[in-house]
Structure 1
């Protein structure tokens, strides 16, 4: 099931008679990175092992990220985002849940990543672009 947009939820909250009414209608809880990764796998029909391999992660480390046993740094999360072919919105949500900064278009490296992500580039193609511009690669 697709998650409602934040704007839609905000509209419902503001039109509710009180916060309790709104909360009863929505199961709002602190979502974890592993919960969101599983949701994305389900929505996109992907297998965890395939994503881990496509991301170029060590299998054990990848599984630990998916189960929440280990934290992932920003670049590891970006590797997963490219492997899952996430949208910019999904990638930023993933980064935020991982405790990392969202992609920011005023940052030169992030701008290149945003461009590549939204234009369907692979992780390797993105690293090539970053290298070409003299920026740190993701992998």
Structure 2
């Protein structure tokens, strides 16, 4: 996603603007309805991304280096996924930082935090579109636990 000069990504409102609008709303439901806010589960969002990116589940599961049965169960919503598995799927899908953040939220795991050394490396790699193998190489080179461990 391209960032505009004011820090917005593709016309998305800034978080601060949304917060001000939420606090000014007469009711949280009015705000949620106006912005079509819904909680997406991991499987739903993964499948939305598959469709949007024109990818096939089998190629993403393989690129994420996941056991095929386990990967399919995640996509079907039968199994949850830990943080590193979600990151592997995001990288295999070619997600940008916003999509990766949303996937992590949908999975109910911690988001990437740039003040954490390992997370900073992962953020850097995702921003540059690195493959899973290259992300793991960078993590290993810099003495951090890889996503495949």
Cα pair distance change 1:138/1:19, threshold 3 Å:
closer
2:105 aligned with 1:72 = no
Q: Distance in 2 between matches of 1:78 and 1:41?
A: 15
Cα pair distance change 1:15/1:131, threshold 3 Å:
same
Q: Distance in 2 between matches of 1:24 and 1:92?
A: 22
Q: Distance in 1 between matches of 2:38 and 2:130?
A: 33
Note the alpha carbon deviations across 1:16-74, whole angstroms, 9 max, x for none: 77666555555433211111111111111111111001111111100111111101001
2:12 aligned with 1:5 = yes
- Number of residues of Structure 1 aligned to a counterpart in Structure 2: 137
Q: Distance in 1 between matches of 2:128 and 2:95?
A: 11
Q: What TM-score, normalized to structure 1? A: 0.84
2:125 aligned with 1:126 = no
Over the aligned positions, Cα root-mean-square deviation in angstroms equals 2.4
Q: Which runs of 5+ in 2 are unaligned?
A: 1-10
